[in-house]
Amino acid sequence: MRTMGKRTKRDRVWQYALTSTLRKDKRITPDEVADITGVSDRVARQTLVNIADGGWLNRETRSDGSVYYEQPYWLEFHADNYPGDV
C-alpha cells in the first residue's frame, strides 16, 4: 500500500488557491495566499504563476499594478466532482 507524502508548502498553496477560486468563486492575491497558507511571499507568487501558466487560474493586473488570480472562464466547478476537503 502506498501512502501519500507529507504535504509541501506548494501543496498548501495549490489547495487554497484552487479551492478559493473554483469552489468559492473568489479572487485571491499572492499576499493573501502567503498569509493563509503560511508560506513566504516568494513561494506564493511563484506557485500562483505556475498554476496560471498551466491554465488552472487566470492572472489579472489591476490599474494600480497589483495582481490577483481568478477562475478561468472555461473551467466549471461542480461540487459533486470534488473529492477533497476545503
Query: In residues, how long is the chain?
Result: 86
The architecture of the domain spanning 9-73 is Orthogonal Bundle (1.10)
- Delimit the domains of the chain by residue range: 9-73
Q: How far is CA 70 from CA 1, 3, 23, 60, 61, in A?
A: 37, 32, 11, 8, 11
86 confidence band (pLDDT: 50, 70, 90): very low
Most confident of 6-10, 14-18, 60-64: 60-64
Measured in degrees and rounded to the nearest 5, phi and psi for residue 60 equal -125, 150
- Amino acid letter for position 83: P
Q: What percent of the chain has pLDDT over 70?
A: 81
pLDDT in tens, 17-58: 988 888 777 899 999 999 999 999 999 999 999 999 998 899
Q: Taking residues 11-22, what's their average pLDDT? A: 89
What pLDDT sits at residue 82?
A: 52
Per the confidence metrics, is the pTM higher than 0.85?
no
Give CA–CA dist 45/82, Å, rounded.
25
Measured in degrees and rounded to the nearest 5, phi and psi for residue 69 equal -125, 145
